[in-house]
A = this chain, B = another copy of it.
Amino acid sequence: MHAFTFYNPTRIEFGENKEANIGDYMSEFRVKKALIVYGSNRIKDDGLFDIVVQSLHDNDIDFVECGGIKSNPVLSKVREGINIAKSAKVDCVLSVGGGSCLDSAKAIAAGALADEDVWEFFVGKKVVDALPIFDIMTLAATGSEMNSGGVVTNDETLQKYSIGGKPLFPKVSIINPKLQTTVSREYLVYSASDVIAHSIEAYLTAKDRPNIVNRLVENNIKTVMETTEILLDNPDDLVARGDFAWAATLALNGLTHAGVQGLSFPNHMIEHAMSAVCDVPHGAGLSVVMPAWMMWYQKNNLPQFERFAHKIFGKKNATDGIIALKAWFDKIGTPTTLAQLNIDDETLDAVIDNALDNAKAWQMDDIYDRQALEEIFSLAKL
């Protein structure tokens, strides 16, 4: 194993009805006034918001709201949240939603304690302080509930960039599989694609990988594939829903990168350009990019691609493993071609321009130049 630091102080509260204790958990951190960040009004219609508010009330925690966070969350909304947080003088942020909500909440938590504009943290400034962050996850995909990162799109410049830093680890994250049974069929398969992407990025790019870490990753991929199929048949299967959610968390909490060097996130780098320019769902973009990128990249790390083919699909040949993954994406119904995302050639030019900026920002432009991106996107048309 290569040298590493592993640190992850987030407390996970997993299980049914845990959201009813959110105020108790938060009061352990002596907070008094929260900004509740959420997406649509669905959480108000289905009773979740009332449960949260009751628990806050029982613990003498006041709150203000910032609703309307959308998938592929945007900077303008984050700034709105920061303004509310500052003017209401909240002392913590509570996200009730999926990864987009939580990523927005993280940016708000950092921005609320900063004098400078929050975008500074996305373009290089270090996050050294943030309001305490809590969350109730209504969708499992991003792993944001147990890491210190977040992704937001600057809706003026169309840059989909990341924020990160120790203060952005949530204090307490609640995962109640039952709250996730209402996730749509579409977002279930997009989420599966996202978790698989989180799993394969380091798995397929890094060399000299410890066997123990390879197996951790394969466990996450297998769990997601098995449970997605169960959940497509029966969305209310709480065992599968729980296993899926925990695999999503474990895929990006640092464990699958510990002891691994030379990893990179090319699929995310490329997909961020697609969702920044075209606002496609992140997981849908990823399931288009992944098989294409894998075909293009496999020669650079062939033994690991062969391992993937063998361990996940029982195939001997690297290419057969990629074909099998694409077939599985097709089977569950997440897109695998640019056409399915309605990205035409003209739009694709804008996507490639955007991806080239990402490649530079992520310091991957030595590999991912225009020609490389054109080759990868050509494969994504098949």
Contacts and interface: CB of A to CB of B under 8 A. Distances in A.
A324 interface: no
Q: Residue among A1, A2, A7 with the most chain B CB within 10 A? A: A1
Interface in A201-256: 210-212, 215-216, 219-220, 222-223, 226, 239, 242-243, 246-247, 250, 255
Contacts of A243: 1, 210-212
A242 B219 CA distance: 21
Interface stretch (A9-17, A93-101, A294-302, A361-369): A9-17
A219 B215 contact: yes
Given A212-B246, A216-B219, A7 B12 contact: yes
A272 B216 CA distance: 31
How many interface residues does chain A have, given as a range? Answer: 35 or more
A11 B6 contact: yes
Query: What number of copies of this chain does the assembly contain?
Result: 2
A242 B3 CA distance: 9
A250 B211 CA distance: 14
Contacts of A250: 212
A223 B211 contact: yes
A5 interface: yes
A5 B1 contact: no
B259 A14 contact: yes
A368 B18 CA distance: 34
A258 interface: yes
Contact of A246 (B1, B13, B14): B1
Contacts of A215: 215, 219, 222-223
Interface in A5-53: 5-16, 18
24 contacts: A1-B14, A1-B239, A1-B243, A3-B14, A3-B18, A4-B14, A4-B15, A5-B12, A6-B11, A6-B14, A7-B12, A8-B8, A12-B258, A14-B259, A210-B242, A211-B223, A212-B223, A212-B250, A215-B222, A216-B219, A219-B219, A242-B259, A246-B259, A255-B255
Closest 7 pairs between A and B when the two form their complex, measured CB to CB: A3-B15, A1-B242, A7-B11, A9-B9, A215-B219, A6-B12, A212-B223
Given A5-B14, A246-B259, 13 more contacts: A1-B14, A1-B239, A1-B243, A5-B11, A5-B12, A5-B13, A6-B11, A7-B12, A210-B242, A211-B243, A212-B220, A216-B216, A255-B255
